[in-house]
Every structure is written in structure tokens, then in C-alpha cells.
Structure 1
Amino acid sequence: MGISQTVCTVDTSECAVIGLESSGGTACRLTACKTFPFGIGELVSDKGKRLLKKVARQVGKIKSEEMVLCIAPETYLPLPAYFPAGADPAQYQELCRMEAEYFLNKPDDYSCDVTGYGEMTESLHEKKLLLFYPAEPCRTVSDMFSAQYPVRFSCSPHLSLLQLSLYENKPLATLELENNYFLLSISKHGRLEKFICRQVKSREEAVFFTIKELSGNPLLRETGVQITGSRADKSIITLIGKETSLKTKPLGIPSSIPISNLEKFSVSSPAAVKAISTALMAFRK
């Protein structure tokens, strides 16, 4: 019997609900995919309950005992750290709590995702990147869903996007251009190799720092860069490509991912891509 996974992505300007089935091997089948033209800001506004009902109806149509959430934070605060190799989830949680107390003024106001960072080495300690991000409004949205459906776990979009690099034969470079920050990451085989996140106050500032970082990285000449985010409109993607001479394209699903039924649904939206990558991560947990 196959395993069914329901994922809801709540992004900055849109939501997506997908259903993905796995027979236990590497192949998967997409059973549902629907996007909604509103994001996290609208869900926590006065009309949030009404909008939540629209998303919840779609979740209810998918036969799954639980769901996974992928919710966009306002920004990221990255912190490299070394953890004991082979630590279990409980140890990671305690170590993250300790790091947060040293790193943040109000650690209880933040959530944290943990991912491998740099090359794997045979050592007593493993390098990790702690991605701290404001718990709100993500926590409020998660509570809204968990009041109606069992939520297996919730994560940030960047953690799930690392899954896409497992299906690429070269490093995967992604650029996120949001209202509050720009984020450049390069990942390979599901691990981060490079991570840059800078707070920005305007479109011009985002473009300036983006061009500066992209132009100074020779690896991107080979890989190109996939661009997403609320500021990633056609004009800014064209401008970045012109100024850096890099191959740029919107965030997308790698053609090598063994998912059937993709042609029956619209999966081009960033929220749908993030939902599918989150489902793939959930199958591996």
C-alpha cells in the first residue's frame, strides 16, 4: 500500500496544497495540486479565517491522515555550528536551544531549522547551519491548521528546497528575493555548500547586493541560478541576468525527479515547487 503525503505551503504571496503518493521506492505520483492567490499576510489578517476555509477544503479532499506545513518566515538569521556526529533529534533540539540563548536576545521568539553545511568529513563533530527565524506569524498559521488537521511537522521553505539538489548532477543555486531580505544558497546532494542572507530595505538595495554576490562567484557560471521570491518579477530576473551574464530562470522542479502525473497539474508556481520538495523531504524522514 502506498504512502500519501499532504503538504500545504504558505508563502509570502500565495499558498499551495499538494498530494503526493509513494509506493515505498523512489518513484512518486502527484495526486493533487492547487494554488491560492493569497499568502501568509492575508492568513493572519482579519479575513484569515475565511481564507483558511478555502485552503482547508482542498486539504480535506486529499486522503491523508496528517499533513506537513511549509511556512515562509519574515527573514532568516543563520548561525554555523558544530554538533556531535550522529546526534539524535532530542540532542539537536537541546543544542539548538543552547545556541539560541547565546545568539538571540529573545530565543523563545524564534524557531530553528537545522541542515548539514559544507562537505561531509569523518570527524567527531559535524558542521551544521542553524536557520533561526521569527516564530511569528508562522506559529499562528501553524496553530490555525493544527486545530483542524494533525500536523506532522512544520518547516521553512529553504530547508525543503535543499531536497531538489538531491536530483541534480551539479550544484543547485537558488536566489530568494523577498521584501525584507535576499538569500543566496548553493547546495549539493542535499547539503548546503554556501549560504548568504542579507537584510534589505528596498528593491534597489536587493538588486545591488544580489549582483555583487552573483558576480563574485565563479561556480555560478557553470550552474546558473534559479530565482524566486516576492521581488522576483520578470524585470528583475532580466536585469540580474544582464548585469551578471549568468543563466537565470524561475524556481522549478528538476526534470530528473521521478514524479508521474506532473503534466496534469500546474506546478510552475514557487509555492507548488516548495510544497513538492517538502513532501519529498517528509518521505525521507
Structure 2
Amino acid sequence: MSRSQIACAFDASSTTVARVKSTGHGSFTMTMCRTIEGGMDDLGGPKAHRLAKKLVSMLREWRDEPVALSFSPAGLMPLPAWFTQDASPDNRDTLCRIEAGYFLDEADKWQWHDMALEPSPGQPAGVDRRMLLFYPLAPARFIENELRKQCRVEWRGAHVEAVARLSAVTGDALAVLELEERYAALSISANGKIGYFRYWPVKEASEREYFAITELTSAPLDGAPVKVTGPAASAKVLERISHETARPLEPLELHPWVSAERGANKAKSPTATMRAVSTAIMALNGG
């Protein structure tokens, strides 16, 4: 039975909306992907209502289909954590709030994404390894509340886990190098779960490239292909990093995870497309 899912991927300055169909046999087709101006920075300011109105109008065509929201602010605040395996969702939520209080100034201004990680070697019995990804609460809550007035929002969170879940679609390990203007990150996932995650805030390009070279020469890649996303991932940057690490680097693109109808992709970049599409696939697979 075919099902469809809408996903809205918010970065700092734009929003990308994708519609993905599932055939029910593990294959996915993107039928629409568009980018509109205005993102998380705008949702926290005077343009918020205008952007929300534009987005609601855009989604009206698919008003009966569920919506998933993915947030990619200019920077994240990651925090490793350990929770007991039998912790209920409500209990984990309480633990996340406690961790936020210790970790962040003005913790009530942050939303968290609680992400389960692969167990580490020698991990104690009875605990789960987690990664808490904190991002600004106000813009995320505002747009979620506005969309809920017209849409059925069924999932929301940071983009990192949705992208990692692509490794469950093919069953192959996946390494994703993110080169953003204000941070760099490397995740290695298998069967939909991240086993290795590193994040580094950056102020200039040299720091970003140093992180990439250091991680790609020391991380346990074990032959996993390295896919690259982010606005700072220019061809020249990738060429330099690839030369220094002796590793082939490729942009993270639709193939082999999803096909696309002719003319469906009108997003601003492969990064925007993949964040929206991976969010839709994650929601179709149960979140």
C-alpha cells in the first residue's frame, strides 16, 4: 500500500519541503521538493508569521498527509548521555531536562533531540548510550504550533538522526561529513543508528578543514563511503580534504536511497534536499 509523507526541513535561512511516497516494499519516490526563503533565524524574529503563513499555504495541497519537521540551526549543542534501558519516554524527557539544566545557560530556551546510539565496546549492562542535541526552542516551537493548526505534525527533531537513518534503507554503513559555516561534524551509522559522532564549532575555514582531515584519518570508518553535506563543502574544499586523507569524498545525494519523479527537485541544494527527504523517510519508517 502506497503512503505519502510531507517533511519540512528548516535551516538557518531557508525552509525545504519534500513529499515522499513509500510503496511499502522498502522503496521511496520523491514527488516534490521545493525551497522557500526564510528559516530558523526568521522564525525567531518579526518575519515569523509571514513565513508560517507562506508555509501553511504551500502545504494546503496535501492537507490530509502527515508532516514531519527537521531543524538544522546554524549550530547545535551536543551532549553525550547515559540513560537506564528501562527508562520510559516520560522518564527520558525528565532526564533530558535535568541534563539541560547542568549543561546550558537558560536551559528553558532550548529544545532537545534525544538520539539513541549504538552500544560502545565494554558498555555497562542496563544502560543506553544517547546523544542529546540541543537547538533553540522558540523558533521550533512557534512553527510547530502554527503548523498544528492546519496540519498533522507527527514527528520533529534535529536533522542528524534522520540522515543517519538512511543507513537502514540500504543496510550499508554510512559516514556523513557535515561542513557548515559554524560547525563541522562526522557521524558513522549502520542499520539506522549512529555508532560514532563528533562535532566541532568553527570560526574559520581552516578549523573546519583541520577537523575533517583529523577525523577522516582517525575515525573507525572501516571502509564506509564518506558522503559530504553543507554549504561549506565546495569542490575545492573536498579536493583538498580528499588529497590530505587519501579518501574519496562524494556529495550526499538522493541515489541510492530514493528515486525522484521528473522535475520534482527544485530545492536550493543537495543538502537541503537530503535533509527534507531523509526526514520524510524516517517518518514513513515509524520515526
Q: What's 1:227 paired with?
A: 228
Q: Indicate if the aligned counterparts of 2:63 and 2:151 stay in contact, CA closer than 8 A.
A: no
After TM superposition, give the deviation of residue 40 of structure 1 in Å.
3.3
Alignment of 1:190-201 (within 5 A): 190-201=192-203
Q: Output the TM-score relative to the length of structure 2.
A: 0.85
Task: Compare 268-277 and 176-185 and name the one that shifted more.
Answer: 268-277
After TM superposition, give the deviation of residue 195 of structure 1 in Å.
0.8
Distance 1:46 1:78 in 2: 28
Q: What's 1:278 paired with?
A: 279
State the Cα deviation string for residues 99-127 of structure 1 (Å, max 9, x = none).
Answer: 22222232212111122223387932221
Alpha-carbon distance change, 29 to 218 in structure 1, aligned in 2, over 3 angstroms: closer
Alignment of 1:174-253 (within 5 A): 174-217=176-219, 219=221, 222-253=223-254
| Structure 2 residue matching 1:18: 3-state secondary structure | strand
Aligned length: 282
| Structure 2 residue matching 1:9: 3-state secondary structure | strand
| Structure 2 residue matching 1:170: 3-state secondary structure | coil
Q: Indicate if the aligned counterparts of 1:6 and 1:64 stay in contact, CA closer than 8 A.
A: no
Matched AA of 1:7? A
Q: Indicate if the aligned counterparts of 1:73 and 1:138 stay in contact, CA closer than 8 A.
A: no
State the Cα deviation string for residues 217-240 of structure 1 (Å, max 9, x = none).
Answer: 3626x2231111122222222222
Q: What's 1:159 paired with?
A: 161
Matched AA of 1:34? R
After TM superposition, give the deviation of residue 69 of structure 1 in Å.
1.0
Output the aligned Cα RMSD. 2.8
Matched AA of 1:209? F
Q: What's 1:91 paired with?
A: 91
Distance 1:243 1:265 in 2: 37
Alignment of 1:1-285 (within 5 A): 2-22=2-22, 24-36=24-36, 38-42=38-42, 44=44, 46-119=46-119, 123-217=125-219, 219=221, 222-255=223-256, 257=257, 259=258, 261-263=260-262, 265-266=264-265, 269-283=270-284, 284-285=286-287
Task: Compare 233-242 and 152-161 and name the one that shifted more.
Answer: 233-242
State the Cα deviation string for residues 12-50 of structure 1 (Å, max 9, x = none).
Answer: 354221222345553444333223355433555555544
Alpha-carbon distance change, 140 to 3 in structure 1, aligned in 2, over 3 angstroms: same
After TM superposition, give the deviation of residue 261 of structure 1 in Å.
4.6
Matched AA of 1:103? F
List gaps (5 residues or longer) in structure 2: none
State the Cα deviation string for residues 116-144 of structure 1 (Å, max 9, x = none).
Answer: 22338793222112222232443344344
Q: Indicate if the aligned counterparts of 2:175 and 2:221 stay in contact, CA closer than 8 A.
A: no
Task: Compare 246-255 and 260-269 and name the one that shifted more.
Answer: 260-269
